[in-house]
Amino acid sequence: MQTVTLNNGVQMPILGFGVYQIPPEQTEQAVTDALAAGYRSLDTAAAYRNEEAVGRAIKSSGVAREDLFVTTKLWVQDPGGDNTKRAFEASLRKLGLDYLDLYLMHQPFGDVYSQWRAMQDLHHQGRIKAIGVSNFHPDRLVDLIDHNDVTPAVNQIETHPFFQRTTDQEIMRERGVQIESWGPFAEGRNNLFTDPILSEIADAHGKSVPQVVLRWLIQRGVVVIPKSVRPDRMAQNIDVFDFELTDDQLARIATLDTGNSQFFDHRDPAMVSRLGQLRVND
């Protein structure tokens, strides 16, 4: 598996398995199948409410802990670092792990400074190998970097052919932050799976449209975590290292960029209020 080197030297697989929107009762089997297919990077979150199922699959898999890269995410907490640390301990307990490879602040809302400083403490203690953020636009990311000791290792943001985030990626590169994609297939919006440009490129390589999208992200240096509950699609999604897109094909995919989210804007006041007030931890 190809890896990227994070800003603190930690190696992270460029392709992993995500469990967003997989119901808890299906998650254990999905993660079991993903590990059997060769995935070693797993991405979950407290807000997904399936950390325990991920932990059960890890425990029963027989895969050595040191061979796994496990990410989970901190939801918006009440102010104060102690609340962040309690949320971290709850996630670790549900996963059945002694440490995390990557812990992300899920949303750029609430008392992000107390949350980040508590995450820094846990990182310094060796409880987390790397810490990062999710859904941070460049202005919020730069502000967090400029006023704290540890630069986020990762920023996980919506990234797909219709919202390519090239400017955001360049700013992250300048600041030493690894971009990671969520929603790589845009959940099929804009008829992604039958898009003429993507379909033609897929046919040229004898691959599927999802494989072309994943290969496009990987060639850009974007970490990606596709999800599926079907073993055949899991196997297909990881089979993207035996072909390469040409410069012309990359340029054609670039024309698909709309510059806008296909889901919702993290700067929309109503959405900020809604997410910022939601609590998910026990």
The residues assigned a catalytic role are: 48
CB 276 within 8 A of CB 107: yes
Question: For 69, left (φ over 0), alpha (ψ -120 to 50), or beta?
Answer: beta
| Helix boundaries (H) for the chain | 24-37, 51-61, 81-95, 112-124, 138-146, 166-175, 196-205, 209-219, 231-238, 247-254, 269-277
CB 73 within 8 A of CB 134: yes
Sheet holding 128-134, edge to edge: 17-18, 41-43, 69-74, 100-105, 128-134, 154-158, 178-182, 223-224
N-terminal to C-terminal alpha carbon distance within the chain:
36
Please choose, from the candidates 63, 78, 124, the residue with its C-alpha nearest in 3D space to the C-alpha of residue 99. 124
Token duo for residue 16: 């992993």
Compute the Cα dihedral for 102, 137, 79, 279 and give only its sign: negative
Distance CA(279)–CA(83), nearest Å, equals 12
